[in-house]
Amino acid sequence: MRRRPANLVSLTAMLLVSLISTIQFIAAAEYGPGDTNSEAKNSRTKNAAPTSKAASTEARTVKETVERALPYLERAGATWIEKRQCVSCHQVPFMLWSLSAAEMRGYPINQSSLRKWTAWSTEVQNFVKPAQKPNVKVAPTLAANIDTLNALLLGIPYSPQIVADRTSVLAAKNKDSTKPDTVEKRKPAAWRQQFVEALVKNQQAQGGWKPCGQLPAQKRSLEETTQVTTAWTLLALYSQQTTADREQQALAALQNTNPLSTEWWVVHLLLAKQRRDMNASALCDALIKKQQPDGGWGWLTSDPSDALATGMAIYALSRHDADQNKVAISKAVTFLATSQASDGSWQVPGTKKTTRNKPTPTSNYWGTAWAVIGLLESES
């Protein structure tokens, strides 16, 4: 009986030796022979890509999550158009952005409806309520919808159809080209030019652009909201190979020593990707530091995570450097995949002060669209 503990000790030692050998074998396979530098290992594993099994699971999660959300975006967006007959700041522009991004990546989208909605949304008369349409004044309406113009310019891609439309514009200048369909094909190029001219014209004296609709009522300072609108406007102009007349003044107006919203960091990171005079790496690091333990971001950086801010963050991090930011992106993708509602949407607290952090139909739709935009960008 007294010899039994010795046997146990011997057996335990044998098991430990076997376990250590196994660990060393695995380490050698992963890092290569002779790689014993723990700091090097830690550096490589900190932002390492997931294993092939994890990567394929994440890819399926993105695809399945997007596929669940698309019917909701199509259905709720179409209902908004039918009932409200108004483009709005959030619903229609971000419906088009998310659905267009999905179509470009091969997801099944009703192309006929998407083309119809795109044509409808870029008619200025549809920026106002039905009763106002007969007497709509184009210039003031454009000036009052800066954020809508930005989202439409950024979200509606230059598709092959639009390239063909540019050819049609040239053909229309030929006297022999009198077909009615040529006139209709001129619309995409025409609305882009119209929107760009409106953005350039409506830059304010101090360099910024005035946020539209209900955006000034958001739960952040008006100054910060104006900075965000200004940054999005610069991005929209860059996307059309245009710059503002007072670009340096606009950039100077973006300075903020204490931004509260995730969107401020997101749009500044996107802007820094376009400009060499902005520190994109520092902005990226700052955005990642504000990621919540559950993998998401809140509308305000101090808020609990939601799909709106998380989708924006994934989009910006993916655009900046998807490989470098893959750990943060992967955590955010998991947050979205696990927080999606059964109908494909996400519940998102309202961004206005009056909503008192309760979900609203507008914030739910806006957040769902941004979640899809971010997820799709992470796939690229």
Structure confidence by residue, pLDDT tens digits, 160-205: 444 334 333 333 334 333 333 333 344 447 999 999 999 999 999 9
Asked if 78 contacts 113 with a C-beta cutoff of 8 angstroms, the reply is yes
Q: How large is the average pLDDT for residues 2-7?
A: 43
- Better-scored residue on pLDDT, 215 or 134: 134
- Minimum mean pLDDT range among 191-200, 207-216, 219-228: 207-216
| pLDDT grade for 347, boundaries at 50, 70 and 90 | very high
Residue 69: is its pLDDT beyond 80? yes
Backbone angles phi, psi at 287, to 5 degrees: -65, -45
Do the Cβ atoms of 281 and 317 come closer than 8 Å?
A: no
Amino acid identity, residue 95?
M
* Per-residue pLDDT reduced to its tens digit, 25-57: 334 433 343 333 433 334 333 343 443 344 444
Which range is least confidently modeled, 45-54, 56-65, 70-79, 127-136?
45-54
54-379, CATH topology level = Glycosyltransferase (1.50.10)
List the chain domain ranges: 54-379
Binned at pLDDT 50, 70 and 90, residue 79 comes out as very high
Which of 10-24, 139-153, 312-326 has the weakest average pLDDT?
Answer: 10-24
Task: Name 90's Cβ contacts closer than 8 Å, sequence gap at least 6.
Answer: 362, 365, 366, 369
- The answer to whether residues 263 and 299 touch, using CB atoms and an 8 Å cutoff, is yes
Please, are residues 183 and 172 in contact by the beta-carbon 8 Å criterion? yes
pTM: 0.78
Q: What is the mean pLDDT of the chain?
A: 81
Region 61-71: mean pLDDT is 95
Whether the CB-CB separation of 90 and 129 falls below 8 Å is answered with: no
